[in-house]
Structure 1
Amino acid sequence: MASAFLRRMASSISSSYSHYALKHRVVGTPRISRRSFAVSASKFSNENREFVIVGGGNAAGYAARSFVDHGMADGRLCIVTKEAVAPYERPALTKGYLFPLDKKPARLPGFHTCVGSGGDRQDPEWYQKHGIEVLYEDPVISFDSNTQTVATSSGKTIKYGSLIISTGCGSARFPEKIGGNLPGVHYIRDIADADSLISSLQKSKKVVIIGGGYIGMEVAAATTGWNLDTTVIFPEDHIMSRLFTPSIAHRYEELYESKGVKIMKGSLIEKLEAGADGRVANVVLKNGSVVEADTVIVGIGAKPAVSPFEAVGLNTSVGGIQVDSLFRSNVPGIFAIGDVAAFPLKIYNRMTRVEHVDHARKSAQHCVKSLLTAYTEPYDYLPYFYSRVFEYEGSTRKVWWQFYGDNVGETVEIGNFDPKLATFWIDSDSRLKGVFLESGTSEEFSLLPQLARSQPVVDKAKLKSASSVEDALEIARNSL
């Protein structure tokens, strides 16, 4: 989320060390998991693996594609994951998977990695075809950097040459003592979570969503498609407070309220109460107010899934495993990518951690390229965030915004949100630092990263006088 790249750190990390690689390939028999997914064409008769990826999220899928592109996957690569399915594009879980069954919801295999960026659909057969071993539902529970081994929950010990940690994040949860584990209380990080929530929504009448960030706003948009009584509760003054200005937030809040969503700002949760059947029935606020609910979705953030790799080296400021600009950790031969990696954000000269699908894709590709070749260019990521909501069939207003850059400095807002809106962040030197656009054309959206990366000097007075979003974007384009 946006908070990950807004937090700063003054320290830097060392680099320049070699990685390990095992040179042996031996032939064995393919293994089939208990869920009947083919564990992709294993060519190992012992426990040695040249490359091991821990975690089966989107970053793992893109890393696998990069290994294939470099001709280094077949019989050399193993993915160890706690999930029962092959890597998939996780944004679909809250953007399309939760749509009502009669409104064309997203379903697998339709959104397996890497369809989100125009690549092949990497279903289980794809991994088998490319000779990639995948151990499903068998998470790593320990590792030993001295022996270069990882141990899994099923008792396997796997020796690696190079290890890529791609464990992502887990949902921040309410404590059990205040009702965080009651039946009907949901968290969303994987497809099993989404399936459980859909089961609740099918018989729900009153939904409460706790949190005004990405999860909260995307799930609230989906529940409007179910025509459910929906309330969003959060402690901040406005939605998406880590990115949106109060003015931007106000526009979206009005849109949600026009669709029947009730928004309760500045509200803190005391506890979740169960009804006579043991299922969640009430959300009790600190001020004593009670909101009825038979389904509660908690979207209060995420925590990097660093266990059992704490010894690799953690970043105590932004969280996650500390890596350099090539995603090398402090331990030779071990890398970290995606949500779990704390890396140098070159463009703004600070350490950061980004929880976003765009970074998951790009960090995976950069890491594998540097691991397998002589490529040493530092990762130069431009922060990018977006959302697409209300896209279910029959929706009267589809919403799609994008943001690039850094949300620091003075803001200039243009447009009336009918449907377009643009906001520019400009620093004290009149340099454009960040730009936000709602309902742009593909050409207009393609301009945003150019502006954010170039950080041109703009005429604020001229920008403020722009008669339309199109006019403002043209003024910004000319400043390039």
Structure 2
Amino acid sequence: MSSAAVRRVLPMAAIISNPTSLKHGLSLFCPELHSSASCSSFNPSRRFQRRNFVAASTSSSFANDNREFVIVGGGNAAGYAARTFVEHGVANGKLCIVSKEAHAPYERPALTKAYLFPLDKKPARLPGFHTCVGSGGERQTPDWYKDQGIEMFYEDPVTGIDIEKQTLTTNSGKLLKYGSLIIATGCTATRFPEKIGGNLPGVHYIRDVADADSLISSLERSNKIVVIGGGYIGMEVAAAAVGWKLDTTIIFPEEHLLQRLFTPSLAQKYEQLYSDNGVKFVKGASIKSLEANSDGHVAGVRLDNGSTIEADMVVVGIGAKPAVSPFDSIGLNNKVGGIQVDGQFRTSVPGIFAIGDVAAFPLKMYNRIARVEHVDHARRSAQHCTKALLTANTSTYDYLPYFYSRVFEYEGSPRKIWWQFFGDNVGETVEIGHFDPKVATFWIDSGKLKGVLLESGSLEEFQLLPKLARNQPLVDKAKLQNASSVEEALEIARASLPVEAVA
């Protein structure tokens, strides 16, 4: 990196997308390591270098009093990193968090699940789901950060960085000093362009509490909702809309729901459940525009085939992009997106780290670079990075991919749905069970069990899944196929594990 590159203060760049065809979904797992040319300054084998922190003078030029460690971002990863700083006794008077959000870090998955429950069904609300209650930890309210001596800057996103001077500039013009910097900026929702109606009143995207509040306001006033996207957000929002008794349609370009993970047979079972709850599907569709009524409010979704589906509200869930600005000079991964890091979440610049959704990291067990947008990775990457920063721990992050969803969980729902997936969805599949209520899908590659999904399992059965995916045992495919039940199939898989893995 040239001296000119590190001296200039970088402006916040707009994230622009063109999703009109919707054929841009992220892969469940990302491709192999990009060529060295795309991130030439990154060297994961270098020795750990921590920036020397020199206490700044009492000059008022810096807005933050806590300057040794600074976290940029106010999501889950930031909250779990803060907890790890506290656990190591390093937070008080040394840690500063600067966030674009108005709230202390919270468990974001709630926003498309319990937060959207009908108002008479005990919906989740802050402060009930502040970090770190999602993993059984203490609720970190704004008062918690004050009590721990952590300096917080709310609603003031970072817009520039001077790497050489180790300073950050915020939207309000504040100048912040850092010794070590952790980037935890997460992702931004992919939006439709304004020229095709992407910003019409009644069109919603969901990434934060403010988005969810706006969505709830529309749910209260609407009769017909169109959900664009057949992934996690699409499925979860549509299930919530059923609870509000709305006329609900899901539109997506793929052949079936959650095509990145579900097999056609598995997807069909979930689609039937949604259909039984009154949800309509439009598959293989591309969006031409979002149409407005005479008042300028969204009134429908026009497809490329010329047809229009009426709607008085639209929710767009077509993916997200890593929020890398203004840190794009630090070293980006051009294949999977995000900021390139090594196994301790170190970037190409000594003293600067990246965690959570924004980090492109080595997925050790599959020997490839990945970027994972999931709360479990946000938590674990934050903890691993912070421990590496504060201690002599140099172990490589060894993440086991994990995804889940929960839908139709509101009070009075005829059936609550909860599936979990661990591992890699590669190879041939074996599906066992009839979704009454259980179903399991096993991914087998070269005889090894690489991934497993289970719907409506018991606690003990769910606890078995990561053991199977982590150990990748050789399994008898014919035995699995002949299993008479999900329970029998899981027992066959369990029996294939080494003795030490079963305990």
* TM-score range normalised by the length of the shorter chain: over 0.9
- Alpha carbons of structure 1 residues 349 and 45: separation in structure 2 relative to 1, 3 Å: closer
Q: 1:334 aligns with which of 352, 373, 394?
A: 352
CA distance in 2 between counterparts of 1:247 and 1:197 reads 32
Give the 5 Å matches for 1:10-409.
10-11=34-35, 14-15=43-44, 16=46, 17-22=48-53, 24=55, 49-409=67-427
- Alpha carbons of structure 1 residues 248 and 159: separation in structure 2 relative to 1, 3 Å: same
Give secondary structure in 2 for the equivalent of 1:307: coil
Partner of 1:32: none
Per-residue CA shift, 1:161-204, capped at 9, x if unaligned?
Answer: 00000000000000000000000000000000000011111100
Shift of 1:47: 5.4
Give secondary structure in 1 for the equivalent of 2:376: helix
- Matched to 2:135, the amino acid is S
CA distance in 2 between counterparts of 1:192 and 1:144 reads 31
Partner of 1:34: none
Q: 1:464 aligns with which of 481, 493, 496?
A: 481
Do 2:64 and 2:151's aligned partners in 1 also have CA atoms closer than 8 Å? no
- Identity fraction in percent: 72
- Matched to 1:289, the amino acid is S
Do 1:4 and 1:353's aligned partners in 2 also have CA atoms closer than 8 Å? no
Do 1:312 and 1:331's aligned partners in 2 also have CA atoms closer than 8 Å? yes
Per-residue CA shift, 1:274-327, capped at 9, x if unaligned?
Answer: 001110001000011110000000000000000000000100000000000000
CA distance in 2 between counterparts of 1:9 and 1:245 reads 26
Give secondary structure in 2 for the equivalent of 1:181: coil
CA distance in 1 between counterparts of 2:405 and 2:431 reads 19
Do 1:53 and 1:164's aligned partners in 2 also have CA atoms closer than 8 Å? yes
Partner of 1:432: 449
1:478 partnered with 2:502: no
- Alpha carbons of structure 1 residues 478 and 268: separation in structure 2 relative to 1, 3 Å: same
CA distance in 1 between counterparts of 2:102 and 2:352 reads 25
Give secondary structure in 1 for the equivalent of 2:450: strand
Shift of 1:28: 12
CA distance in 2 between counterparts of 1:93 and 1:129 reads 27
Give the 5 Å matches for 1:436-451.
436-451=453-468
Partner of 2:471: 454
What TM-score comes out, normalization by structure 1 length? 0.95
- Alpha carbons of structure 1 residues 241 and 208: separation in structure 2 relative to 1, 3 Å: same
457-466 or 2-11: which moved more?
Answer: 2-11
CA distance in 1 between counterparts of 2:422 and 2:495 reads 18
1:8 partnered with 2:60: no
Shift of 1:2: 7.3
Per-residue CA shift, 1:429-457, capped at 9, x if unaligned?
Answer: 21000000000001000000000010000
Shift of 1:46: 6.2
CA distance in 2 between counterparts of 1:21 and 1:106 reads 43
Residue segments in structure 2 that go unaligned for 5+ positions in a row? 1-24, 37-41, 498-503
Do 1:26 and 1:45's aligned partners in 2 also have CA atoms closer than 8 Å? no
CA distance in 1 between counterparts of 2:56 and 2:409 reads 48
Residue segments in structure 1 that go unaligned for 5+ positions in a row? 30-43
Give secondary structure in 2 for the equivalent of 1:400: strand
Give secondary structure in 2 for the equivalent of 1:388: strand
- Alpha carbons of structure 1 residues 90 and 348: separation in structure 2 relative to 1, 3 Å: same
- Matched to 2:416, the amino acid is K
Do 1:343 and 1:351's aligned partners in 2 also have CA atoms closer than 8 Å? yes
Do 1:306 and 1:320's aligned partners in 2 also have CA atoms closer than 8 Å? yes
Partner of 2:16: none
Do 1:4 and 1:352's aligned partners in 2 also have CA atoms closer than 8 Å? no
- Alpha carbons of structure 1 residues 2 and 417: separation in structure 2 relative to 1, 3 Å: farther
CA distance in 1 between counterparts of 2:29 and 2:346 reads 19
Per-residue CA shift, 1:26-73, capped at 9, x if unaligned?
Answer: 9999xxxxxxxxxxxxxx986560000000000000000000001010
Give secondary structure in 2 for the equivalent of 1:223: helix
1:423 partnered with 2:423: no
Per-residue CA shift, 1:112-171, capped at 9, x if unaligned?
Answer: 000000000000000001000010001100001000000011111111000000000000
- Alpha carbons of structure 1 residues 21 and 441: separation in structure 2 relative to 1, 3 Å: farther
- Matched to 1:8, the amino acid is E
What TM-score comes out, normalization by structure 2 length? 0.90
CA distance in 1 between counterparts of 2:57 and 2:146 reads 16
Shift of 1:23: 5.4
- Alpha carbons of structure 1 residues 261 and 162: separation in structure 2 relative to 1, 3 Å: same
Do 2:34 and 2:333's aligned partners in 1 also have CA atoms closer than 8 Å? no
Do 2:111 and 2:208's aligned partners in 1 also have CA atoms closer than 8 Å? yes
Shift of 1:99: 0.9
Shift of 1:4: 4.4
CA distance in 2 between counterparts of 1:400 and 1:46 reads 43
Aligned residue-pair number: 465
Give secondary structure in 2 for the equivalent of 1:311: coil
CA distance in 1 between counterparts of 2:407 and 2:323 reads 27
Shift of 1:385: 0.2
Shift of 1:270: 0.6
CA distance in 2 between counterparts of 1:4 and 1:131 reads 39
- Matched to 2:383, the amino acid is Q
RMSD value over aligned CA atoms? Answer: 1.7
CA distance in 2 between counterparts of 1:469 and 1:318 reads 35
Do 2:432 and 2:486's aligned partners in 1 also have CA atoms closer than 8 Å? yes
